[in-house]
């Protein structure tokens, strides 16, 4: 079955949710890493930036944890740029788990492809999601942004030039730059911060 093309980034709780959605959607899917997002300032800044750039879709589990994460995101993201999707409360457990969660409900990863396609149908487009950057870890290394003396300072300068938090790790910066800029735009930004 052909994947639905969704141009807005989709925010989910964890990696298994991302894997499930990636089998149904052609979209940029970002994970919160569960409750760790509460203290992850760089992740919060990236999510805010993505929302401000054109909006995001939020899909969390139907349990208490999912509601807590959704509420947190509602507090940090611009309300007019967030589209909340909800899965039904279906009793059960995911195949990879030995027992059901505390609420006894299936999470996003337990939803059927048909149900997920139905949820995302209003956001489907004929075009694939916008092609963003193709920057790689090797590009970061070649440009002195990782694995070299002064890499942290160069990352900090690039993050500031790109309007991102200055204390981002190399991996977080790579993800943010690829979601927000083309590779050419990043290389242009690098020219402005020659150190």
Q: What is the pLDDT of residue 86?
A: 92
First to last CA, the chain: 50
Q: How confident is the model at residue 131 (pLDDT cuts 50, 70, 90)?
A: low
Average pLDDT, stretch 185-189? 86
Better pLDDT: 96 or 65: 65
Closest CA to 50 of 83, 15, 8: 8
Tell me which CATH code domain 4-125 carries: 3.40.1360.10
Q: What is the pLDDT of residue 59?
A: 96
Q: What is the pLDDT of residue 98?
A: 73
- Residue 184 token pair: 């050419």
Name the one residue in this structure whose structure tokens are 């956001």: 123
Strand partners, 11: 30, 58
Whether residue 180 has pLDDT greater than 70: yes
Closest CA to 91 of 79, 75, 102, 80: 102
> What span, in angstroms and rounded, lies between the C-alpha atoms of 37 and 154?
25
The full set of domain ranges for the chain reads 4-125, 137-192
Q: What is the pLDDT of residue 13?
A: 95
pTM for this model (two decimals): 0.76
Closest CA to 30 of 7, 57, 3: 57
Most confident of 20-24, 96-100, 102-106, 172-176: 20-24
């Amino acid at each position: 079955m052909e994947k639905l093309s969704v141009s807005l980034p989709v925010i989910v709780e964890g990696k298994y949710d991302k894997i499930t959605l990636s089998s149904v959607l052609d979209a940029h899917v970002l994970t919160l890493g569960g409750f760790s997002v509460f203290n992850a300032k760089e992740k919060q800044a990236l999510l805010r930036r993505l929302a401000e750039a054109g909006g995001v879709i939020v899909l969390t589990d139907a349990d208490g944890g999912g509601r807590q994460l959704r509420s947190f995101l509602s507090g940090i993201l611009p309300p007019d740029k967030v589209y909340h999707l909800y899965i039904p409360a279906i009793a059960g457990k995911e195949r990879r788990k030995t027992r059901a969660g505390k609420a006894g409900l299936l999470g996003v990863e337990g939803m059927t492809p048909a149900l997920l396609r139905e949820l995302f149908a209003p956001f489907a487009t004929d075009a694939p999601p916008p092609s963003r950057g193709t920057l790689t870890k090797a590009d970061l290394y070649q440009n002195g942004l990782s694995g070299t003396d002064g890499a942290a300072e160069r990352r900090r300068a690039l993050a500031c030039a790109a309007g991102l938090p200055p204390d981002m790790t190399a991996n977080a910066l790579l993800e943010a730059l690829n979601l927000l800029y083309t590779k050419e735009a990043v290389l242009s930004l690098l020219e402005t911060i020659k150190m």
